Amino acid sequence: MFGRRRKIEDFAEEIKAHMAIEAEDLREEGRSAEEAQWEARRVFGNVRAAQEQFYLRGRWQWLDRMMGDLRFGIRSLLQSPGFAFTAILTVAMGVGANTAVFSVMNAVLLRSLPVADPARVVYVRPSNPPDNTGTIETDETVSHSVYAELREQTKAIQPLMAYVPLSAGKVAVRTGAEPEEAEGEMVSGQFFSGLGVGMADGRGFSEQDETDNAPLAVLSYNYWTRRFGRDPGVVGKTFYVNGVPMTIVGVAAQGFEGAEAGHSTDFWIPLQNRPELNAYANPPDDGKLYIANPKWWCMRLIGRLAPGVSKAQALAQLQPVFQSAAYVGVGNPHPGEKLPVLRLLDAKNFPGYEDMYGKPLRVLMMMVGLVLLIALSNVAMLLMARNAARQREFSVRLALGATKSILLRQLLIESLLLVTGGGILAWVFAVFASRALGAWAQIETSLAPDETVMLFAFGLLVLAALVFGLAPLRVAMSAGATSAMKTTQATAHADAGRSRTGRVVVVLQMMLCVVLLVGAGLLVRTLRNLENTPLGMSVDGLVVFGVKPNTQALAETNAFYRELMGKLRVLPGVEDVTIMEERLGTGWSDNSDMLVDGKLPDVANGSSRTVRSNVVGPDFFTTLGVPVLMGRDFNQSDTMTSPHAGIVNQEFVDRFLHGQNPLGHRIGPTGIKWDMEIVGVVKNHKYRSITEDPIPMAWYMYAQIPVLSEMNVELRVHGNPLAILPTAGKALAQIDPNLPLIQPIEQRAQYETTIAQQMLFARLAGFFGLLAVVLVATGLYGTLAYRVHMRTAEIGVRMAVGAQRGQVVWMVLRHSLVLTGLGIGLGIPLAVLLGRALSTSLYGVQPLDVGTYGMVLAGVMVVALAASALPAARAARVDPLKALRTE
């Protein structure tokens, strides 16, 4: 009763009753029955209008109308599902690809370090470190003594924080019985408080913790989630790092994964002072740990500018302090040595990322931008074609009383539906794609889309909606109630069929397609070159993992490796075993100048004397499959007590012992009194990465050198290399149950990590190039098919007056060839520009690679012909009689 809405039927009933009563009254007044009924109706006026008014009473009219339009729009799209599907998918691909690339770019290049007030945070970095020092990164790291001096003597940066990883990769950790591995960092006491990184649970470190080298640990939120399932009871647990017990005191706030770009730290401990926890897992150098060794510059610094102090002021204050601190314990500068200089870098945007990913990401962003352009123009063209073909429908609807504004509104709603559908799909696509991108690029930073990404995607969709909105505008403006109804099919569509806009768009699409394909082609060739680069060894069947023994004395460590190799060698499926200090294919190497026969070798016109070296086990080259050109491989009889044996590569001989028999010469590093006799020469092969050029190399025998710590084990096995890992792990556990296999990986995959970024870049570029081709093909096909359809009558006339089928086909083909030719002509200069911009990312291929250009041109022509073939065939099949009869 109350509150219930009265039904429109009830209202109609009342009006009917009204007429009946009125008619009765009129009859009583003396009218005839029929007359009375007519009169009653006439007097009442417009019944429909009253009913409509009743219906609209109290409703949200715009919502009501919108729902109607939506229903209408969905119905009309469902009538051409092929069109709707293509359009939505195209929008989704275009917007999705852009959103994915942008979200990576956002995470990598645009997002700030997740700390409080990042604008006041600076990286404190040196350049020109003193000559006698060893560094991790010449332009990034300093010694502990420099850190201590700077912290003591300056107030301009408050606080100054230091951090240094426990290993270049991962370290052994343990909470239960099973050994595991994780990425850990030692940090100064004010690391969390100074950066303003909050704690999700527990507490951070204090200055006292740093002074005490307290055995405490803070986990990253990510690691806490991944390893402990966000166990709220994790604080207070014991966490063994390289066998040293630490107490977990906190979990860092979500999103903070360390101050360095591209790395995600799993846990942090205060700066330690014990050999098991030296920086970078190095053995003590001359008995000194990182904390006591002013010659080892291994720590990174970050700090917060004191309130009211500008970067320039802070630098002015720090510079002299740094320049004297740099030489404490290092010795006086050599004459002519460049003074070390301190720099302050904005920490806001992870400066390292820009160098690593800036260019590829920008090129990719540009490529997906072009793809988006093609995609949007495609859909706009499809929409225009569709609307033009619906000219008659519009005219009929106008004639039946629809207004132009209603037509326009409904067309806009249709466009909006396409954009919305495409947008939803695009988001799903983007979330998956950005995750895949992050995994491929080995970006460990979280790539979860944030507000910026959402805003970006939304902006793209608005752009799409605007573009699609313009397409119907024109139709709605030009449609008249009478024009299309009166005229014949042929004349009504003559204009639409020759639309200049359509031609311009196709040419522009072709142009963009050529640019994208050339870029993609160059990068894909680069990828092929990289993948097919000979490594100089037989890499298949090799698997590698790290081991860090808990041994102290050199003899003990030696025995450990001897025993380990012995145990591994007898495992079923294992063919060869060896060990090496620097893992191949990681980008790392030991570099130094070397003395040959007691003096620095003469080198031709200023070329480098640098030798890359490695410490390896017996049968090293046999295991790798590197040919020994002269002499022999290392073997088990090279021991602590036997004469020091060394092996060099061909490049070493060519550069330093040219024209001599290399065997028997004595070589050794500069700076210490230690040398070895060359017992073998091996063929050049790749050490650090796939793209490196040959460089002189030398190998030491592990059993003969005075320092030994973490090594990598290389196994050659039959069958799947990774399948050996569980048994290898058991063999290791027999010696020491605390030790995990550190970062086990197939050797080939390890090498490929050095080109992962190029591979990703090339694959993506290839994918986008392909996407562009598909889009352009559909666009061209759509335009041509539509033109042929519109010109059916004209073609009929032409054939009726004597045109041959061949001529008709040629007419259609010629048209598409002209458009393609124009597109190619405009595209090539742009492609040349793109190729030049890409030149630093190419490997083994020239920016003006003829093969690539040839393939692209041939490809574009084939696509154009394929896209035109169907419409041309359809044109040839036009039956002149039928075409004319429909008039």
Partner 1 sequence: MPTQENNDDRIALLQGTLDLLILKTLVIGPCHGQGVARSIQRQSEEVLFVDHGSLYIALQRLEDKKWIRAKWGVSENNRRARYYHLTPKGREQLTEKATQWKRLTEAMERILEPGTGPAGEEA
Residues lying near partner 1 in the complex (CB under 8 A): 6, 11, 13-15, 17-18, 20-22, 24-25, 43-47, 49-50, 53-54, 57-58
Nearest Cα to Cα of residue 816 among 763, 851, 779, 789: 779
Give CA–CA dist 512/367, Å, rounded: 9
Residue 396 CB, shortest distance to partner 1, in Å, is 25
Tokens coding 798: 């032409």
Residue 407 CB, shortest distance to partner 1, in Å, is 22
Secondary structure of residue 246 in the 3-state scheme? strand
Closest to partner 1 by CB, 59 vs 288, is 59
Secondary structure of residue 628 in the 3-state scheme? strand
Closest to partner 1 by CB, 52 vs 212, is 52
Residue 47 CB, shortest distance to partner 1, in Å, is 7
DSSP-assigned beta bridge partners for residue 173: 180, 241
Amino acid present at 401? G
Closest to partner 1 by CB, 24 vs 276, is 24
Residue 481 CB, shortest distance to partner 1, in Å, is 21
Rg (CA), the chain: 38
DSSP-assigned beta bridge partners for residue 542: 716
DSSP-assigned beta bridge partners for residue 342: 126
Closest to partner 1 by CB, 44 vs 60, is 44
Closest to partner 1 by CB, 51 vs 533, is 51
Write the CB contacts of 39 (distance below 8 Å, at least 6 apart in sequence).
Answer: 22, 23, 26, 31
Nearest Cα to Cα of residue 808 among 818, 816, 800, 798: 798
Closest to partner 1 by CB, 29 vs 355, is 29
Residue 405 CB, shortest distance to partner 1, in Å, is 18
Inter-residue contact 744 to 714 (CB < 8 Å): no
Closest to partner 1 by CB, 56 vs 722, is 56
Closest to partner 1 by CB, 4 vs 500, is 4
Residue 49 CB, shortest distance to partner 1, in Å, is 6
Q: What is the largest CA-CA distance in the chain?
A: 141
Closest to partner 1 by CB, 47 vs 828, is 47
Dihedral sign, CA of 77, 80, 81, 83? Answer: negative
Give CA–CA dist 272/295, Å, rounded: 18
Secondary structure of residue 492 in the 3-state scheme? helix
Closest to partner 1 by CB, 21 vs 862, is 21
DSSP-assigned beta bridge partners for residue 160: 303
DSSP for residue 296: E
Q: How many CA atoms lie within 13 A of 701 on its CB side?
A: 27
Residue 785 CB, shortest distance to partner 1, in Å, is 47
Kindly give the pairing relationship between strand 134-135 and strand 296-297.
parallel
Residue 378 CB, shortest distance to partner 1, in Å, is 45
Nearest Cα to Cα of residue 467 among 585, 381, 579, 591: 381
CA angle 600/601/605 to nearest 5° reads 115
Nearest Cα to Cα of residue 171 among 739, 749, 753: 739
Closest to partner 1 by CB, 32 vs 53, is 53
Nearest Cα to Cα of residue 521 among 752, 757, 767: 767
Residue 31 CB, shortest distance to partner 1, in Å, is 15
Closest to partner 1 by CB, 29 vs 693, is 29
Residue 399 CB, shortest distance to partner 1, in Å, is 20
Residue 5 CB, shortest distance to partner 1, in Å, is 10
Residue 63 CB, shortest distance to partner 1, in Å, is 20
Give CA–CA dist 46/160, Å, rounded: 84
CA 79 to chain centre: 39
